[in-house]
């Protein structure tokens, strides 16, 4: 009966029963150095179920990338002509031969078509298997690894193999070598109960020539509110349409729940016209949004209150994705769900109509993410950008360091086996297809000292940074931080926004919150307002932002408030300095919504610009 079942399964696959060719030995596909801070505890339970994600090659990704840059480049005739979901999927689809060879391999291990699921483009195959079968398929041994600092556990291996004939047909298999512990930014509650009285309430406004009306309330140097952000970023008086199709979203992970009662309190306090407003909650992979006040998440409440408060009445969505460490291997749970982020990416790529702007305040040290995995996730962001989605990510709260907010305790040791000191950028902010947002504080704005910034060790510098980033590097004294960073890497952050002293309601009480976790939803809110203005003008959404914002930064510096004071210490150094132009602390600076709105509501094609004294027609 077993042979008959396998034969019928093969017919369903559309091929004969084909096991791996005789004599086709396994060959190592990927190996990583055991990561610092993780200890091998015990062999993984043989019956423990893991969900293998098999990534098939995307042979036409370079073509997708070409489309992405053409539709995102304001100087190109195709600017704004975003691709459809179906067009993107056609460009990333694997060769039929790859699909067939992988199917045959799975079939040779007794797995039927009913056991697996595929992404719409068929570039990912997912299948749940017990550890004992995964070890046989990958010629490896899984172990339970324990993170010494947090106590979190993962079932992982440091090396796996595939039959030689599969190597050209499989990019990666995970979870195998991925030790990333995707986490929220380190928001910190500065005060409990309620914010203290602000003694400068009657003080004269702060003069700021780029702010709305040229001034900002004095209280904004003590407490950041929606009013402060609208004043500071020149957005007073603009109300977006709620009916033009524009939408904004924020993501939530790791048991971070957005409390609706807190959202009401926030609006009553800061935005009375939105007193009865709410937001959609979309569950991903069984994600919950517990409304017990004791379970209200600081990160989730911060994100929804400021992103959705800035953009009211734009329709808003909170994506809550299941999966939260620590995994307890002794419980033999049905699956190891420490990797919720890929579940959200799968979900949003399948959504035919995602929000045009999405903010995320979660990341991990880039060096904990295998290069193959980082590249595939980054490719997923490119797909969203090509479809017209703008993605913002917090740049990090450890300066140039490893995420620890105390520069004095950062180890900043490389994970490549050399154990040398290196600056530690974060991923996904280091992906060149997203917009990384650093942080500022006070008015006039200065760089906040925890603002994450630096240079990727995985991704090369993209072309859109080839003018402004080398200018910054040229200002560094010879030998500055030599060997500590990759000067040819993708530079972060791209932009910045206020990142401290945000008044947030959590569990029914008011707190002041800090972190670039505040900067990302703030900048995303400004982007969503720009999208609303464009859509109401009959123009497409902005989509992938970076080619546009770097072009604007080079041509019209008034569109961003240049931050020239401050630095981001870490790894036993003072970090980089904020300086004129782009810098590795605040990027291009903070947004001037009024000026940006004037720019982005123009039809760029056919527009005449004066660049360096030369007239240029787009």
Active site residues: 299, 303, 517
Bin 441: left if φ > 0, else alpha if -120 < ψ < 50, else beta: beta
Please indicate if the annotation marks 417 as binding a ligand.
no
* Half-sphere exposure for 238 (CA within 13 Å, toward CB): 28
449 contact partners, CB below 8 Å, separation of at least 6:
399, 566, 567, 568, 569
Cis bond leading into 493, ω under 30°?
yes
| Cα separation, 101 vs 98, whole angstroms | 5
Q: Are strands 390-394 and 435-441 parallel, antiparallel or unpaired?
A: parallel
Beta-carbon neighbour count of residue 425 at 10 Å? 31
Bin 381: left if φ > 0, else alpha if -120 < ψ < 50, else beta: alpha
Packing angle, helices 546-555 and 468-475, rounded to 10: 60
First to last CA, the chain: 68
Concatenated DSSP letters of 124-167: EEEEEEEHHHHHHHHT---EEEEETTT--EEEE-SEEEEEGGGG
Q: What does R_g of the chain's alpha carbons equal in angstroms?
A: 25
CB 220 within 8 A of CB 291: no
The token pair at 611 is: 């660049």
| Cα separation, 537 vs 310, whole angstroms | 20
Concatenated DSSP letters of 422-465: ----EETTTSTTSEEEEEEETTTTEE-TT---EEEEEEEPPGGG
Q: How many residues are present in the chain?
A: 618
CB 493 within 8 A of CB 436: yes
The token pair at 255 is: 């048991």
Among 289, 278, 358, 360, CA closest to 320: 289
Give the three-class secondary structure for 322: coil
Please indicate if the annotation marks 556 as binding a ligand.
no
Phi, psi of 87 (to 5 degrees): -65, -40
Please indicate if the annotation marks 295 as binding a ligand.
no
Q: Measure Cα distances from 491 to 210, 478, 480, 612 in Å.
A: 26, 19, 16, 25
CB 586 within 8 A of CB 440: yes
Please indicate if the annotation marks 514 as binding a ligand.
no
Adjacent-strand bridge partners of 436: 393
Q: Where are the alpha helices (DSSP H) in 312-432?
A: 340-350, 371-386
CB 561 within 8 A of CB 591: yes
325 contact partners, CB below 8 Å, separation of at least 6:
150, 152, 153, 181, 254, 338
Among 400, 410, 546, 555, CA closest to 480: 400
Binding-site residue numbers for Ca(2+) are 562-563, 581, 583
Binding-site residue numbers are 562-563, 581, 583
């Amino acid at each position: 009966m077993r042979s008959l079942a396998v034969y019928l399964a093969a017919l369903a696959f559309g091929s004969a029963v084909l096991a791996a060719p005789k004599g086709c030995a396994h060959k190592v596909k990927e190996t990583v150095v055991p990561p610092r801070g993780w200890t091998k505890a015990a062999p993984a339970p043989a019956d423990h179920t893991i969900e293998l994600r098999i990534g098939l090659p995307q042979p036409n990704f370079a073509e997708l990338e070409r489309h992405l840059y053409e539709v995102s480049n304001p100087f190109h005739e195709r600017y704004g002509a975003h691709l459809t979901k179906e067009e993107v999927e056609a460009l990333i689809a694997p060769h039929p031969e790859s699909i067939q060879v992988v199917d045959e391999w799975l079939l040779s291990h007794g797995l039927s078509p009913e056991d697996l699921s595929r992404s719409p483009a068929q570039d990912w195959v997912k299948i749940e298997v017990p550890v004992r079968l995964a070890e046989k398929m990958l010629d490896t041994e899984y172990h339970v690894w324990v993170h010494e600092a947090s106590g979190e556990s993962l079932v992982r291996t440091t090396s796996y193999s595939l039959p030689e004939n599969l190597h050209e047909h499989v990019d990666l298999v995970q979870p195998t070598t991925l030790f990333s512990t995707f986490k929220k930014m380190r928001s910190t509650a500065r005060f409990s109960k309620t914010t203290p009285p602000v003694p400068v309430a009657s003080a004269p406004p702060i003069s700021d020539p780029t702010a709305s009306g040229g001034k900002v309330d004095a209280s904004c140097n003590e407490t950041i509110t929606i009013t402060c952000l609208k004043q500071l970023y020149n957005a007073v008086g603009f109300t977006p349409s709620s009916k033009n199709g524009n939408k904004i979203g924020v993501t939530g992970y790791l048991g971070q729940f957005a409390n609706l009662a807190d959202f009401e309190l926030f609006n009553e306090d800061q935005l009375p016209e939105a007193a009865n407003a709410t937001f959609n909650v979309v569950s991903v992979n069984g994600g919950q949004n517990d409304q017990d006040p004791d379970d209200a998440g600081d990160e989730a409440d911060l994100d929804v209150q400021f992103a959705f408060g800035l953009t009211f009445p734009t329709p808003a969505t909170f994506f809550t994705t299941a999966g939260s460490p620590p995994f307890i291997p002794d419980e033999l749970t049905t699956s190891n769900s420490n990797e919720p982020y890929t579940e959200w990416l799968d979900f949003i790529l399948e959504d035919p109509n995602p929000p045009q702007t999405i903010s995320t305040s979660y990341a991990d040290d880039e060096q904990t993410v295998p290069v193959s995995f980082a590249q595939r996730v980054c490719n997923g962001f490119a797909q969203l950008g090509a479809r017209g989605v703008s993605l913002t990510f917090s740049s990090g709260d450890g300066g140039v360091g490893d995420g620890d907010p105390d520069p004095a305790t950062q180890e900043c040791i490389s994970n490549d086996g050399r154990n040398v000191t290196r600056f530690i950028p974060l991923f996904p902010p280091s992906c060149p297809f997203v917009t990384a947002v650093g942080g500022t504080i006070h008015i006039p704005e200065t760089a906040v000292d925890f603002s994450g910034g630096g240079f990727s060790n995985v991704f090369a510098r993209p072309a859109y940074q080839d003018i402004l980033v080398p200018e910054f590097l040229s200002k560094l004294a010879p030998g500055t931080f030599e060997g500590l960073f990759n000067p040819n890497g993708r530079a972060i952050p791209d932009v910045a926004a206020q990142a401290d002293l945000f008044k947030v309601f959590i569990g029914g009480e008011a707190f002041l919150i800090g972190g670039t976790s505040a900067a990302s939803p703030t900048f995303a809110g400004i982007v969503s307002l720009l999208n609303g203005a464009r859509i109401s003008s009959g123009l497409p959404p902005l989509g992938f932002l970076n080619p546009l914002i770097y072009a604007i930064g080079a041509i019209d510096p008034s569109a961003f408030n240049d931050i020239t004071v401050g630095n981001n210490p870490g790894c036993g150094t003072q970090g980089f300095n904020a300086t004129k132009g782009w810098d590795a602390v605040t990027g291009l600076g903070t947004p001037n919504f009024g000026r940006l709105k004037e720019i982005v509501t123009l039809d760029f094609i056919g527009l005449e610009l004066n660049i360096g004294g030369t007239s240029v027609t787009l």
